[in-house]
Structure 1
């Protein structure tokens, strides 16, 4: 187990202890920290506390970080929509509603479970929970993902993502009537201090850039294509909300009154990258899911 010490400063005075600790490291979720507190892994001034303990200035906090849960990720037969595959890389069209990789409490039914049944030679760089995974899309976002089958491919694809040479274009339907045809959103993203499960625009966040252009306008909605220059968590969803045009159906960043489509109207439709071994540029395009097409048809009919 790893130990960490933290002193409560003036800006954390009267904060709940679970909030104060989860703000130390963006990888620690509030629910995870609450579990540590309940299990006695957090001491304040040498004593165990409850999750609603209110912090005082100069409180000495000791955090005993438990060993990560070892998960046995089981291969599961799935009907995966494979667009390309060779000995180095695989491109798959992920359906809406599927989680990309397992996590504690959610160890089955993920894309990784299906990939492990489909092929045994996934890159091991990201460990047992995320073999072959070099980038992700959200559970309720559909579309294309590249998966590394060798360590050489993994390093190459990650380097291409860092160098911003991977082409990633998404189709989305947003609330509101975007008046201009083209736009670029350049706004840094970080964890929302009020909700550690959400991202928001913050001054000290990570650099994030999204380009968009309007495909079609309806009475109260706009159909757009967004191209990622960077790939931050929830980037398109947060950026479109930031400029006043949140995604239709988005349960986290959209308005309460929205179209009922069980999650955001967002599809990763185009993916392009250089092959890790041959350096040949490969580009793939996945059609809109039927539910997305039906939503567009309804908007056109109502319009």
Structure 2
């Protein structure tokens, strides 16, 4: 990465400059211990060096090493975008994001390790937005430490715009905002509930796009203001319209074998190129079936979720 030193950067230390450009303190510590990783006009400098007028600052990121203990496993991946800084993947249902104690080789991390390994690249795995195992749709993966820092900060600052589609039981009102704090249930390590005393603030905006009388399901567009664990699933249950097939909050599998939730759209600014990015992933087949053959009657939206 090469940066031109601007007037407003003069007298900043290199560390201050890097922090202002999205580098984390941890990444800066790694740079300190990497020889010739920071050059001012071609000359190595310390992070305490104060920038003067003119020239450039070149930063060489520490060499990436593959994530330990991730076994490469061939997987049919739907890569929606790829460059040297990030990947956007359309995740299938039933695929966990990370390996766990009982699952070491059937996760998205294994598939990405195989995909990058086939290209001769280090398979360092950094998932930015999290999706549950049975939630389908768009997921961002950072390719290196700097893009991971910057994308993670964008998640914290809520500047990555996420839009989901869900099939919800019953006829959902046309639109609304669910403002209900979420906490872990007292007798479970994974289940969440609405709790106005113990919960963390959580807000979900929703809009109903379509209703199918045959399945008694509404197609709902949801946008998150916060990012609590299971937020959409808990909030939709809270207003009386749980997602069919949700093993935790509505274990009714007559219509679909997993929670009917899909990460449909992502909008964000590229962390390095500073260009606006927009991605969409059409509804998967199992959710399409919940709305029969009448997909052309879906009310107008930016783009049809049915592809």
Residue 291 of structure 2 corresponds to residue 296 of structure 1? yes
Check whether the contact 2:244–2:252 (CA below 8 A) recurs between aligned residues.
Answer: no
Assess, with a 3 A threshold, how the Cα gap between structure 1 residues 183 and 246 changes in structure 2: closer, same or farther: same
How many pairs were matched up? 222
Corresponding residue for residue 163 of structure 1: 157
Check whether the contact 1:122–1:132 (CA below 8 A) recurs between aligned residues.
Answer: no
Matched residue of 1:109: which SS?
coil
Check whether the contact 2:163–2:266 (CA below 8 A) recurs between aligned residues.
Answer: yes
**1:83 maps to which of 76, 80, 84:** 80
Matched residue of 1:196: which SS?
coil
> Distance between the aligned counterparts of 1:100 and 1:72, measured in 2?
14
How large is the RMSD of aligned CA atoms in angstroms? 1.9
Assess, with a 3 A threshold, how the Cα gap between structure 1 residues 100 and 226 changes in structure 2: closer, same or farther: same
Pairing 1:145-294 to 2, within 5 Å after superposition: 145-178=139-172, 180-202=173-195, 203-219=197-213, 220-254=216-250, 256-257=251-252, 259-294=254-289
Matched residue of 1:204: which SS?
coil
> Distance between the aligned counterparts of 2:263 and 2:97, measured in 1?
14
Check whether the contact 2:217–2:290 (CA below 8 A) recurs between aligned residues.
Answer: no
Corresponding residue for residue 140 of structure 1: 134
> Distance between the aligned counterparts of 1:196 and 1:175, measured in 2?
26
Partner deviation per Cα, 1:137-172 (whole Å, 9 max, x = no partner): 111111000000011111111111111111111111
> Distance between the aligned counterparts of 2:292 and 2:255, measured in 1?
15
Matched residue of 2:190: which SS?
strand
Check whether the contact 2:181–2:202 (CA below 8 A) recurs between aligned residues.
Answer: yes
Question: What is the deviation of 1:91?
Answer: 0.2
Question: What is the deviation of 1:249?
Answer: 1.3
Check whether the contact 1:122–1:150 (CA below 8 A) recurs between aligned residues.
Answer: no
> Distance between the aligned counterparts of 2:205 and 2:247, measured in 1?
23
Matched residue of 1:158: which SS?
helix
Matched residue of 1:112: which SS?
helix
> Distance between the aligned counterparts of 2:226 and 2:96, measured in 1?
21
Residue 91 of structure 2 corresponds to residue 94 of structure 1? yes
Matched residue of 2:290: which SS?
helix
Question: What is the deviation of 1:72?
Answer: 2.3
> Distance between the aligned counterparts of 1:80 and 1:272, measured in 2?
21
> Distance between the aligned counterparts of 2:226 and 2:123, measured in 1?
25
Pairing 1:36-75 to 2, within 5 Å after superposition: 72-75=69-72
Partner deviation per Cα, 1:194-231 (whole Å, 9 max, x = no partner): 22220111222222211100001233321111111222
> Distance between the aligned counterparts of 1:84 and 1:262, measured in 2?
29
Corresponding residue for residue 116 of structure 1: 113
- Structure 1: where are the runs of 5+ without partners? 1-70, 124-130
Question: What is the deviation of 1:103?
Answer: 0.9
